[in-house]
Amino acid sequence: MKILSAQQLAEADQSTIDKNQITSNDLMEHIAKLIFDRIHQRLQGSPVPIKIFCGIGKNGGDGLALSRHMIQHGYHVTTYVTNYSKKRAPEFLFHYDKIKEVTKDWPILLSSEKDFPELHPQDIIIDAIFGTGINRPIDGWMAQLVHYLNKTPAFKLAIDMPSGLYANNSQDIDSPIIQAQHTFSFETPKLSFFLPETGHYAGTFEVVPIGLDPEYMMKAEPLAQIISSDAAKSMYKPRKKFSHKGDFGHVLTMAGSKGKMGAAVLATGAAVNMGAGKVTAYIPEHANSILQSSIPEVMTISSKSKDYITDFDHDLKDITLCVGPGLSTGDDVKHAFAKALSQQTQPVVIDADGLNILSDNPEYWKMIPNNSILTPHDGELKQLIGRWKDDYDRIEKAKNLSIDKDVILVLKGAHTIIISGKNLYINDTGNPGMATAGSGDVLSGMIAGLLAQHYDSLTAAVFGVFIHGRAGDIASQTYAHEGLKASIISNFVGAAILDLFRPEPQQQPQQQ
Ligand SMILES: NC(=O)C1=CN([C@@H]2O[C@H](COP(=O)(O)OP(=O)(O)OC[C@H]3O[C@@H](n4cnc5c(N)ncnc54)[C@H](O)[C@@H]3O)[C@@H](O)[C@H]2O)[C@@H](O)CC1
Ligand SMILES: Nc1ncnc2c1ncn2[C@@H]1O[C@H](COP(=O)(O)OP(=O)(O)O)[C@@H](O)[C@H]1O
Ligand SMILES: [K+]
């Protein structure tokens, strides 16, 4: 699914209006009905007090049209208008008048702090103050209103966006922003919903398809793409009946050091679980029995040194290298790392200490084959690209590195972002149970397993990240977030692949 900018969404609105020969008011009416249906399906006519706060732009218009539908269906609605300027949108005015069709009460105008209504924990608050049109921080008494609404424990539902949040631009995150529990986002989610500094404001979010012009949507150059289950499914390569292990490649993991052999076991095991035809672990000499007894499917070769990998003298022809987990960063280790890299011509996966070595030794960049995949968490990323001002700066800097070095970057986090040049792919699988030691090692082994099976680099990164998260999601249904651990995520890779082919659950019919 594409993520478009606020400006593109406004263009898509206009194009929809023009092509369908409808008015902006008609489109708003259509959207309000869609939103109403979703709320009605959940509330089923419950007499809960509903307080709708409307701005004076189009987002406020959405709020007024929604309010009318809710009143018409017997909900206990109070409508407030934040009367902060005289510049009212025509759509706002249209729906403001129309509310009189269903009630004798005009909406209550709020013009200062003294007008703020009393709120109760059991209220449902609907935020239709600002949407994608926000272009500066909320200030004055409106800022107080946002703080006032945020203070109440009442459930807050945002229409299109939590008010105060920018869709896709840098902003001062200390400025007032509604903290919603849930957001109905029109047509596509906004980029800010996926970024660590701002994502929490939207709460859980739900994309409401509003029927924007399909031609515009198809042609639009996205800011980013969310990796959908359908997209992941289309990436999957089914196996041919007469295939043999030689068809599925050979991964060499170069990982581990004294006290950190778990990282090698996890990355190596994940390459096996992801389906590599053969996997060899290149490890310190003393770790042989650890690997062999942990993963019988794996072959090993040992470094000359007991506790670290300090040399490299192997033919890497037709082998996919996954280097870094638990490797450590000593001088000898770093020379072995450079030697392994210098022999590589096909893309490699570099993680953890491999990235730390690379940051400290920028001269090694020239040894990295094009389209290699680097999987930094934020600590490692900071060393690679320097400090960033905010999430947008982080993405820009990472894009520049990806373009400059011709590598694919996997920026790990709650929503991992895969960066290939100027293209962004955002992952929506995974859960906080995956914030556990070693889950990144599993990811790097999985991606190497896919590369070995002839997935191209971008697909290996995108599909690997998606399946890793989905494996964590399925596993967490048995183990809970707390009980999830890296080896379990790895063991659920197969379940995650099967899940791609599970039929979608049937939609519940909507109540009217
Ligand atoms: N045809 C339509 O009418 C449609 C309406 N939609 C709704 O329209 C919204 C966008 O509407 P608008 O562009 O009118 O913008 P908003 O309703 O988000 O904001 C209203 C106006 O407030 C002003 N403003 C911005 N920041 C401010 C601040 N900090 N303090 C005070 N004033 C500020 C701006 O001039 C802005 O145009 C979307 O989020 C969505 O809810 C569309 O999504 C769908 C189609
Ligand atoms: N809150 C979260 N939600 C979803 N996925 C997460 C979350 N926290 C971490 N992850 C995932 O877990 C993995 C952690 O990797 P990393 O930080 O390298 O761990 P380690 O170094 O211990 O292996 C990444 O793939 C990341 O995307
Ligand atoms: K809003």
Condensed to tens digits (0 to 9), the pLDDT of residues 272-327 reads: 999 999 999 999 999 999 999 999 999 999 999 999 999 998 887 899 999 999 99
- The pLDDT tens digits for 232-259 are 999 999 999 999 998 999 999 999 999 9
Q: Taking the chain, what is the end-to-end CA distance rounded to the nearest angstrom?
A: 29
Residues of the chain with CATH 3.40.50.10260: 2-222
When mean pLDDT is compared across 136-150, 205-219, 309-323, 374-388, the lowest value belongs to 309-323
> How far apart, in whole angstroms, are the C-alpha atoms of residue 429 and residue 469?
5
Determine if ligand 1 sits within 6 Å of the CB of residue 459. Answer: no
Give exposure, 35-62, as e/b (b: 16+ Cβ within 10 Å). Answer: bbeebbeebeeeeeebbbbbbbbbbbbb
Instruction: Round the average pLDDT of the chain to a whole number and report it.
Output: 96
Nearest CA, atom 13, ligand 2: 440
Complex-level ipTM:
0.90
∠ CA(469), CA(472), CA(475), 5° rounding? Answer: 150
Determine if ligand 1 sits within 6 Å of the CB of residue 89. Answer: yes
Please list every protein residue whose CB sits less than 6 Å from any atom of ligand 2: 377, 412-414, 416, 430-432, 434-435, 437-441, 443, 468
Q: How confident is the model at residue 507 (pLDDT cuts 50, 70, 90)?
A: low
Cα distances (Å, whole numbers) of residue 73 to 33, 39, 44, 508: 12, 12, 10, 20
Cα distances (Å, whole numbers) of residue 50 to 70, 125, 283, 332, 344: 9, 6, 62, 67, 63
Residue found by looking up tokens 């800022």 in the block = 143
CATH of 2-222, one of 3.40.50.10260, 3.40.50.300, 2.60.40.10, 3.20.20.70: 3.40.50.10260
Determine if ligand 1 sits within 6 Å of the CB of residue 134. Answer: yes
> How far apart, in whole angstroms, are the C-alpha atoms of residue 160 and residue 128?
8
Atom of ligand 2 nearest to the CA of 439: 23
- 230-500 architecture in CATH? 3-Layer(aba) Sandwich (3.40)
Residue 264 is classified by DSSP as H
Atom of ligand 1 nearest to the CA of 210: 44
Residue-wise DSSP of 265-283? HHHHHHHHHTT-SEEEEEE
Atom of ligand 2 nearest to the CA of 437: 22
pLDDT of 506: 62
Average pLDDT of the residues in 126-141: 97
Residues of the chain with CATH 3.40.1190.20: 230-500
- The pLDDT tens digits for 102-128 are 999 999 999 999 999 999 999 999 999
Cα distances (Å, whole numbers) of residue 401 to 70, 141, 397, 436: 51, 43, 6, 28
pLDDT of 511: 43
Q: Does 52 have pLDDT greater than 90?
A: yes
Average pLDDT of the residues in 483-501: 98
Q: Does 384 have pLDDT greater than 80?
A: yes
Q: How confident is the model at residue 504 (pLDDT cuts 50, 70, 90)?
A: confident
Which residue type is seen at 375? Answer: T
